[in-house]
Structure 1
Amino acid sequence: MITSSLSNHILTLTIDRPTAKNALNLDMYQNLAQQLERAKNDDIYVVIITGNSDIFCSGNDIEDFIQLAQADDTQAQKNREIIERFMFAMIDCPVPIIAAVSGPAIGIGMTLLQHCDFIFATPNTVFTLPFVKLGLCPEFGSSLLLPQLIGERKAKAMLMLGEELAAEEALSLGFINQITVQPEQRAAHYAITLTALPKEALQHTKKLLSGNSRQQLIDCIYKENDLIFKLIKRSEATSALSRFKGKKSHT
């Protein structure tokens, strides 16, 4: 469900679960974490993340959410550790991460993009964060990072109201680098350019750009996840998730 290929020092990771609209489940988080941790290997200079369908990622798997709501404390902690391993693998990836986004990026499908260094998206790409509608709260540091990336007003509209962010607005706000009908090709071009640069200088530059705020980001993620793992057991969340599952089964 996560396919990977390594060629010319470029590791390409593809979210490949089209029957579930590329929703991420626990196995996929674990696989992504393992693959991203490979970037500490000297043979990898750049990571590309993309999706194998007309939707980049529809967010967290709804069945996993429902199971998490029913899990005991031990199982919930195990699930949390898997998800956080993926999050920290992205944050601590020493090499540049490039995202090639085709179609909707929903929930964690959008918040993971906050931790990418370059983003190329198709004209029909739409970014959505339906956390509150599901009875949940922001995740992956979005309560901290999103206002910095797109401005406080738009971030509040997205995180509180679930307002969409279209590709043109995402470009104007600086969330993405470019709109293109061929994001994979643009990502590949950038990756080739990056691999030709001095690797050590590039990695130090990436670290300097984010290093001073790393602990603040880690603290934010822990705080968000504390809340999510409480909220998901509340009746508001369980009811919203059940309704969402019902709608999904009729589409």
Structure 2
Amino acid sequence: MRIEDEDGVRTITFDRPNVMNAMNLEVAQELAEAVAEADPVEHDAVVITGDDPAFSAGGDIMAMKEREEGPREAYERVAETFNRAAAEMLNCDVPIVAKVNGDCVGAGLALVAAADFAYTVPDATFSCAFIRVGLIPDTAATFTLPRLVGLRTAKRLTFTGEFFDGAEAAEMDLVNEAVPEEDLDEAVDEIVGKLSRRPTRTIGMTKQAMHENLDNDWRKALDYENMVQVQAYMSDEHEEGVDAFLEGRDAEWD
């Protein structure tokens, strides 16, 4: 895995092209740590992508074959690797963009679902392939997929493990857009540019309020929204935003 910080953007690249960027435990842990270290003071966005020709083929099947463990060890392994990576992504105060440059299967698809934005090439192959090896979806897919694509579509994808392409992924809202391969970098750069012109800490507060309120009734949702809005009202970002508006200039966020 490669981690590069440049111009306020942290780019995380899966770097196992010989196995279609399949993730073993070490890679999942590295991903979790790289996301956890993203800081809204230093970073405007995190971009996750793969070294060509794939985004990620998901979990490393060979590593699964060689694994010997009991139920407790299995629980701790999943919790501290793939599911920790998803938790860090869902909890990250810096917005995360998935740049799907190629095939995206299993845990790879789940990471895309956990991202805040996702762009893909039309001919990338997607599959929620856990069922094909006798597993339920993990990496938070049982939480994210039904909320993104709807319950029945999520059941179809996870029960069958069917394959579909990037254009279909866009149609079902798994990704924001499918763009030609030569335009993928530009599409990701465009959304990252928009994010960089907004206050990152406020984006993080918005993200956390949305995630917290996914399962709240409207009364609890409003109460939580009130609480987070108070934090926003007290922030330097709000003060700068108001001053910039009244002075007729662009805001200058830290």
TM bucket, shorter chain: 0.7 to 0.9
Structure 1 residue aligned with 2:107: 108
Answer yes or no: is the 8 Å Cα contact 1:102–1:124 preserved in 2.
no
Q: Distance in 2 between matches of 1:191 and 1:121?
A: 15
Structure 1 residue aligned with 2:252: none
Structure 2 residue aligned with 1:184: 185
Structure 1 residue aligned with 2:14: 15
Answer yes or no: is the 8 Å Cα contact 1:56–1:105 preserved in 2.
yes
Q: Distance in 1 between matches of 2:148 and 2:209?
A: 17
Structure 2 residue aligned with 1:79: 77
Matches within 5 A, 1:140-159: 140-159=139-158
Matches within 5 A, 1:109-124: 109-124=108-123
Q: Which blocks of at least 5 consecutive residues in structure 1 are unaligned?
A: 216-251
Mark the CA change 1:7 to 1:148 in structure 2 (over 3 Å): closer, same or farther: same
| Greater Cα offset, 127-136 or 23-32 | 127-136
Q: Distance in 1 between matches of 2:215 and 2:18?
A: 36
Answer yes or no: is the 8 Å Cα contact 2:92–2:204 preserved in 1.
no
Mark the CA change 1:78 to 1:144 in structure 2 (over 3 Å): closer, same or farther: closer
Displacement of 1:192 after TM fit?
2.0
Residue-by-residue CA offset, 1:2-47 (whole Å, 9 max, x unaligned): 1011111110000110011100011111111111011136211210
RMSD: 2.0
Q: Distance in 1 between matches of 2:79 and 2:147?
A: 27
Residue-by-residue CA offset, 1:49-84 (whole Å, 9 max, x unaligned): 01111211001011221233x224565355234313
Aligned residues: 213
Q: Which blocks of at least 5 consecutive residues in structure 2 are unaligned?
A: 217-254
Higher relative contact order (CA 8 A, sep 6+): 1
Q: Distance in 2 between matches of 1:74 and 1:160?
A: 26
| SS of corresponding position for 2:85 | helix
1:199 maps to a residue whose letter is T
The answer to whether the aligner puts 1:211 opposite 2:209 as a matched pair is: no
Look at both structures and tell me which one has the larger radius of gyration over its CA atoms: 2
Moved over 3 A (4+): 72-78
Q: Distance in 2 between matches of 1:117 and 1:34?
A: 18
| SS of corresponding position for 1:56 | strand
Residue-by-residue CA offset, 1:62-120 (whole Å, 9 max, x unaligned): 1221233x224565355234313322211211111001101210000001111111111
Structure 2 residue aligned with 1:4: 3
Mark the CA change 1:209 to 1:74 in structure 2 (over 3 Å): closer, same or farther: closer
Structure 1 residue aligned with 2:194: 193
Structure 2 residue aligned with 1:32: 31
| Greater Cα offset, 51-60 or 159-168 | 159-168
| Greater Cα offset, 148-157 or 94-103 | 148-157
Give the TM-score taking structure 1 as reference length: 0.78
Q: Distance in 2 between matches of 1:148 and 1:74?
A: 29
The answer to whether the aligner puts 1:89 opposite 2:88 as a matched pair is: yes
Q: Distance in 2 between matches of 1:146 and 1:74?
A: 26
Structure 2 residue aligned with 1:226: none
Q: Distance in 1 between matches of 2:31 and 2:59?
A: 14
Structure 2 residue aligned with 1:243: none
| Greater Cα offset, 111-120 or 180-189 | 180-189
Give the TM-score taking structure 2 as reference length: 0.77
Q: Distance in 2 between matches of 1:87 and 1:112?
A: 7
